[in-house]
């Protein structure tokens, strides 16, 4: 009779065998190659931005003889993602999954292909949180941390669940720990890059810092802080919309802004080119300005 350990070991090997064909080797830097995930039809491969150190001379490989040139479609440093297009070899897209059924303590596998064959390491989901923003300002839909060992060349490879489905892309470049960019975030970034060559983000052209609101106004609005403008760049949407140094932002497009993250979150791609109402405090008076959101280059 097959014992429990042997059966578990066999299941793990089957998971790697099932997910392995969607894991590729990415050669985009001088040292050890990294990994990538075949994300969709048409030879679309996603990998980590930080492992693609050049824009040309890229290649993707599966085995010893399966190798093809790759074109860099675009990259988003703020989420550490890069999108490649590959022709010349047959690629099998990964089956992805959301995080709704994932909990802290669930076993996961990190896969990589820095060489000719797929490599794997086993770990557990150690932290699972809500959306967060990277130091560079990128929006990540969920916080997903594991205790898997990120071996050299594993960045850009997938984290897979017990069914062999891809939960997201592993990276060691965002917070110094083993983090996974969820599939939902990868989907959003890939779609934007394929459509526009970049990730679109709204832009006002202001420098801000949180400030406490007058007690009476704070009670009226139900928020204790706003964002005071410490700079307004010339020839920007903010200047064109009449915002000036010393104004305090209270809300944008009907949403209160208490912290910088609030402002960055609401300046999404769908607002680029749209006229929005910006509510401000100026000289003790609350007023509204119309500002057309620009696009951050």
The residues annotated as belonging to the active site are 50, 80, 155
User: DSSP assignment, residue 157?
Assistant: P
Whether the CA torsion 236, 242, 244, 250 is positive or negative: it is negative
| Tokens encoding 278 | 């910006």
CB 225 within 8 A of CB 248: no
Angle at 70 between CA 109 and CA 93, to 5 degrees: 40
d(CA 166, CA 198): 23
For 39, 42, 59, 66, the CA distances from 87, given in Å and listed in that order, are 14, 8, 10, 11
């Amino acid at each position: 009779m097959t014992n429990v350990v042997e059966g578990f070991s066999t299941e793990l090997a089957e998971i790697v065998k099932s997910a392995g064909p969607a894991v590729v080797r990415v050669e985009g830097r001088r040292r050890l190659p990294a990994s990538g995930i075949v994300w969709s039809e048409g030879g679309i491969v996603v990998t980590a931005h930080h492992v693609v150190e050049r824009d040309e001379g890229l290649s993707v490989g599966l085995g010893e003889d399966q190798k093809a040139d790759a074109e860099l479609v675009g990259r988003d440093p703020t989420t550490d993602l890069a999108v490649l297009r590959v022709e010349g070899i047959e690629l099998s897209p990964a089956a992805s999954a959301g995080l709704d059924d994932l909990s802290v303590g669930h076993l996961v596998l990190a896969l990589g292909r820095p060489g000719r064959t797929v490599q794997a390491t086993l770990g557990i989901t150690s932290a699972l949180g809500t959306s967060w923003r990277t130091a560079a300002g990128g929006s990540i839909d969920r916080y997903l941390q594991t205790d898997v060992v990120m071996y050299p060349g594993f960045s850009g490879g997938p984290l897979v669940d017990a069914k062999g489905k891809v939960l997201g892309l592993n990276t060691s470049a965002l917070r110094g720990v083993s983090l996974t960019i969820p599939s939902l975030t990868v989907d959003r970034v890939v779609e934007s890059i394929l459509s526009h060559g970049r990730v679109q983000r709204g832009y006002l052209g202001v420098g801000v810092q949180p400030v406490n609101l007058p007690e009476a106004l704070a009670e009226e609005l139900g928020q204790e802080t706003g964002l005071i403008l410490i700079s307004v760049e010339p020839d920007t949407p903010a200047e064109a919309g009449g915002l000036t140094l010393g104004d305090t932002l209270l809300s944008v497009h009907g949403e209160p802004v208490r912290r910088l993250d609030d402002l960055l979150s609401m300046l999404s791609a769908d607002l680029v080119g749209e006229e929005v109402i910006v509510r401000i405090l100026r000289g003790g008076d609350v007023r509204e300005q119309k500002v057309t959101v620009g696009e951050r280059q």
